[in-house]
Structure 1
Amino acid sequence: MTTATATTPDTAGDADDEGALLLRVLSALLREDVAGLRTRTTPLVRPGGRWLRLPADGAAPALLLPVTGDGYQSTDAARLPLLVREADGARLDTLGAALGALRAHADPVDHGGHDAFAEECHQTLATLRLHTRTRHTVEAALTARHGADPAHWTGPAASLAYDTLAARLDHPVYPTSRGRSGLTEEQLRSYAPEFHPRFALRWLALPREAVDVAGAPGALAGCLPTAAAVGLEHLDASHFVLPVHPLSTGTPLVQALRDRGLTERAVLAERPYLDAVPTLSMRTVAVADDPLLHLKLPLATATLGLRNRRTIKPRTLVDGAAAQHLLDQVLAREPRFAGRILQADETVYAHAGHEMLAVLCRRYPAGLDDSCVVPLAALLAPAPGGGSVLDHLADRFHGGDPLALLDAVLALLLDWQATLFGYGIALESHQQNVSVALDRPDGGPTRLRLLFKDNDAPRLHPGRMRERLGDATPGLADFDDPRIFTYDEAALAAVFTTITVHLCAASYAFGLARTGRAPLPRLLDLIRDRLTEAADRQGTAPGTPGAVLRARVLEAPTLPVKAMVSAGTLLSKERSGAADINKYYTEGPNYLLPGGDPR
């Protein structure tokens, strides 16, 4: 399968895309100390600014990396004129040249990972160029369908338009987030959320005894069709049908059926059925005629790293349902969050014991028809007609003050997440998995709620949970992945910090400051104040969860930072030692310490 490629010659816009991507890539590699960019370099001050010198290593020549102060998860970031070869002053200002030079400094055992990352970067560059060429066309289609002002895109169907804008925005940390391995331009246009397409699903009939079903009796029947409905009437009594993403037919599906010994008994319906629209995660699609119902389907591709495959391991379905039950228990004990924290129902699913033969039927709560339901990942995205999504929402719901709206979001988010921390729970609820729902019931004051989904990989501290939940505390038998449980306060705080603080709070402070919307110290003060208030509610005495948050987040000299490129692509699991590639850390500066601008 070929990767997406640009269909026009390089233009000034193409060059800008490559330069911006290379800056992000070099900054990420510096943050993760790839090839010793942090620990093996010597700082230099030259006309024009600061540089880091990576010494020659055998045949690998010495390199010079110009840097500038960053402060967000890394002390420094790369800057122009990008990477320079010291011997002749040559600027290595293309992806191929820069990544090749750094590969020469890496351990030979890691060269395969560097080659894979280079391919990931080139695929992402092609996607960036595609996004640049299609931006105005896509925005015109969104406004024609949903209206000119994003602040009036209300209801579950219109929420998918925010996903489209978010899909065209870079991840706060991972430099090649817009890339999806192995997909052609035609496939991206047909199935990726940044193009807001609509397509019909395929359906696979499997013997009923081969399929494990979970959820309330009859719940799955309310989500999925019968075999007869997809044109397989003769299998209606004996077979169960699972939805299949169109990109997963062919070799991935054939291999999965072979692995499970189902080749001779499975039937792929010839007729596509049920129109769907992709969400930000791409593998999850909303049913076009019932947009409160989202179907999470396996995809044979990867995002955010070569090893971050978009399949669905059956154990994650079990763990997602268990996590939902756990959060329901907390909500029942914390009435002040009633009606303010919402959860999608993720207890209904089916699988045939293989990561390519599974479906999660995610059902969103009712009562969202008049709400703008916006994933946090879309808040800083450029909106059609100018400004950001945050600006438009602030104009409608918060008197035109985007910082006041952000403050309201963070106050609720940090309070809820700190409360969960007090129970020994830290969620992987990043920007894609948390949405803000805004409306004005009966024309009254603005109501702000947070909607959570996809909580299948939390960190849970049994001791903390037992203190608060007693006999209702879940155990190993309730979850399928033993890595979920930890007695290590540092491990719990690391998830809280890297997900809630870095991605769902600080990314907005640094993003808004970068565009000159507000001084960075003021924005960081806001986060520090809201987190301090939230931590204090969890106790101030030594050993309390609030004191742990103070010590490990607010007052820590450094903060954990995800090393996503290293664990996801550059290093094998044997080399990194990561039990979970999404919980593999380095460290960076603590921008929450008092003292002003960390840059």
Structure 2
Amino acid sequence: MHRPHPAEAEVADELAAVRPGLLSRYAAELPGARAAVLTRLWRALAHEPLPWITGREPGREGLVVRLGDGRRLHGPAADPYATAAYVTEVRLEEVAYDHPARLMTDLAVPHGIDFAAELAHSVASTALSRAGQPDRPKEWPETDWEWEQRVVDGHPYHPGCRSRPGFSVAEQLAYGPEHRPVVELGTVPVRAAECLVTGVWPDELRDGERLLLPVHPWQAAHVLKRSCENGFPARPLMSLRTLAVPGGPHVKTALSARLTSSVRDISVYSVGASATLSSFGQTLAARSEGLLHVTRTLGAAGADSPDLAAVLRESPQTYAATDRGERVLPVAALATTALPRSPSWLAEFTRLALTVGLRLLELGVALEAHGQNLLVVLDRTGAPLRLVYRDLADIRVSPARLARHGVPVPGLTGRIVTDDETTLRRKLFGSLVAGALAGTAGSAQALGAALETAVRDLPRTPDLVALLEQPLPAKALTLMRLSPGTPGDQWTRLPHPLG
């Protein structure tokens, strides 16, 4: 117990060289970071369909998890919707663990060693992220990137919430949004004839017959292995690879690194589909009765490689009337305010989110409405007015449902298109309810109370009945990391917060 993990010591050594003033804060944040990641891991052990778990036995003293080899894990009762770090120790038989990486190592399950390394990195990076936080001013931020940079701990339920393999401490400090840096984006000139371009590529990113593709400096150094030119400053957002240009668009860069779960790049397919999806997004917004805006993709370009591409999107700030005191912020940032502590506010926000999400699902579109993609516009008092959605690349579209409502089917192919009811509902319910709303509520009790109030006046569609009467789907995030040979999403079913 309480032995420094080698990954923590490695970060401390690097930190001593590049930012020694943070060392004491970093050390002080390590216990809380261990508990934060251990809480996320315990959620998975308690609720995901991990093949080496044979049983779970809740009791008055907590939860017992039985392993296939006969060993038992002992820990507290697991709230699958909790965001506070309430798990400080888990026992494997009689041995107590306060570090998730050591627990995962000693579980000795397939692919566990690699995942343990990610957990160790997640703990160290979480402590590093927390160490550099200033006292938060009482005034709300004025800019989009300031809201995004308030989200310090990353994904509320993923044990790899801050795992950034391939990033040194200096690079985390230089590029991580929670460290509030200014990042100098470079550009790579590519002949326009060699690029796939959709939308309108701006004149300022052209040089005669060449396009200037924005490139993240990490990508330039580690993947492209080349220098860039004609840089311009930008502020990193929650996703790290997307940055806000002051007074300009948001730039989504190719960043071929594993962040949380997936290796991130910009596929040729996504560049080609971006204009179609953007136009379709405006169709959806027009049918939302003023409750939803969808940010437009201004232009996308790629040099026939997922490692060298960029997407330009309008800022969500476009949809907030700042002269009336409105603010627009990612739903993930709501937890950094006092708003969710009010049951009436949480119920009002939940009603707005479900109204929009279920209306679009009935229409034939399942949003990937997690706390990063979904934003909310608040009035000057903090009341939720309407929603903003960005990044349509991972929605699901049902041609049959669209046709039933007389909506033209967009020219899309691949995994986006499906009429499978389970797939559509999983996409929305897993991201919106088990993700954005749960992360905002912070507990099963608060989420259940908000849902109970919010659904009273909603149309009782078959989708709403399924949401209320079936276990809640959620991505099995740890199972996915422990199944490297299985592509795509894997799912679990969580106990319903309504009981």
**Into which bin does the TM-score normalised by the smaller protein fall?**
0.7 to 0.9
Counterpart of 1:309, as a letter, is V
The answer to whether the aligner puts 1:195 opposite 2:179 as a matched pair is yes
Match of 1:83 in 2: 91
The answer to whether the aligner puts 1:209 opposite 2:173 as a matched pair is no
Distance in 2, matches of 1:502 and 1:242, equals 37
1:361-408 Cα offsets, whole Å, 9 max, x none, are: 101363634432211001112xxxxxxx144xx8xxxxxx83333333
Match of 2:412 in 1: 479
Match of 2:4 in 1: none
Could you tell me whether the CA contact under 8 Å between 2:348 and 2:384 is conserved in 1?
A: no
- Residue correspondence of structure 1 range 262-411 to structure 2 within 5 A: 269=228, 271-288=229-246, 290=247, 292-305=248-261, 308-334=262-288, 336-337=289-290, 340-364=291-315, 366=318, 368=320, 369-370=322-323, 371-381=326-336, 389-391=337-339, 402-411=342-351
Could you tell me whether the CA contact under 8 Å between 1:320 and 1:457 is conserved in 2?
A: no
Distance in 1, matches of 2:52 and 2:405, equals 44
Match of 1:497 in 2: 429
Q: Which residue, 119, 133, 136 being the options, matches 1:135?
A: 133
1:351 to partner: Cα distance: 0.9
Q: Secondary structure at the match of 1:165?
A: coil
Unaligned runs of 5+ in 1: 228-236, 255-266, 382-388, 395-400, 514-519, 541-545, 593-597
The answer to whether the aligner puts 1:456 opposite 2:389 as a matched pair is no
Match of 2:476 in 1: 563
Q: Secondary structure at the match of 1:299?
A: coil
- C-alpha root-mean-square deviation of aligned residues, in Å? 2.9
1:198 to partner: Cα distance: 0.7
Distance in 2, matches of 1:415 and 1:178, equals 32
1:293 to partner: Cα distance: 0.7
Match of 1:241 in 2: 212
Could you tell me whether the CA contact under 8 Å between 2:376 and 2:384 is conserved in 1?
A: no
Q: Secondary structure at the match of 1:361?
A: strand
1:34-88 Cα offsets, whole Å, 9 max, x none, are: 3533xx1363858x4443343636xxxx2332231425399xx99454122x3xx
1:178 to partner: Cα distance: 1.8
Alpha carbons of structure 1 residues 413 and 95: separation in structure 2 relative to 1, 3 Å:
closer
Alpha carbons of structure 1 residues 165 and 487: separation in structure 2 relative to 1, 3 Å:
same
Match of 1:65 in 2: 74
Distance in 2, matches of 1:207 and 1:553, equals 50
Match of 1:591 in 2: 497
Distance in 2, matches of 1:566 and 1:499, equals 17
1:18-45 Cα offsets, whole Å, 9 max, x none, are: 23322322322332233533xx136385
Distance in 1, matches of 2:159 and 2:106, equals 18
Distance in 1, matches of 2:100 and 2:285, equals 48
Could you tell me whether the CA contact under 8 Å between 1:66 and 1:80 is conserved in 2?
A: no
Unaligned runs of 5+ in 2: 1-6, 16-22
Could you tell me whether the CA contact under 8 Å between 2:472 and 2:496 is conserved in 1?
A: yes
1:355 to partner: Cα distance: 0.7
The answer to whether the aligner puts 1:510 opposite 2:416 as a matched pair is no
Q: Which residue, 130, 136, 146 being the options, matches 1:161?
A: 146
Distance in 2, matches of 1:436 and 1:50, equals 37
Q: Which residue, 135, 141, 164 being the options, matches 1:180?
A: 164
Could you tell me whether the CA contact under 8 Å between 1:505 and 1:527 is conserved in 2?
A: no
Alpha carbons of structure 1 residues 404 and 30: separation in structure 2 relative to 1, 3 Å:
closer
Percent identity of the aligned residues? 24
Match of 1:433 in 2: 373
Aligned residues: 477
Distance in 2, matches of 1:96 and 1:367, equals 43
Match of 2:455 in 1: 531
Q: Secondary structure at the match of 1:135?
A: coil
Distance in 1, matches of 2:163 and 2:96, equals 26
The answer to whether the aligner puts 1:54 opposite 2:59 as a matched pair is no
Could you tell me whether the CA contact under 8 Å between 2:30 and 2:124 is conserved in 1?
A: no
Q: Which residue, 454, 459, 462 being the options, matches 1:547?
A: 462
Q: TM-score, normalised by structure 2?
A: 0.87
1:240-260 Cα offsets, whole Å, 9 max, x none, are: 211111111134115xxxxxx
1:360 to partner: Cα distance: 0.5
Distance in 2, matches of 1:500 and 1:547, equals 17
Alpha carbons of structure 1 residues 455 and 532: separation in structure 2 relative to 1, 3 Å:
farther
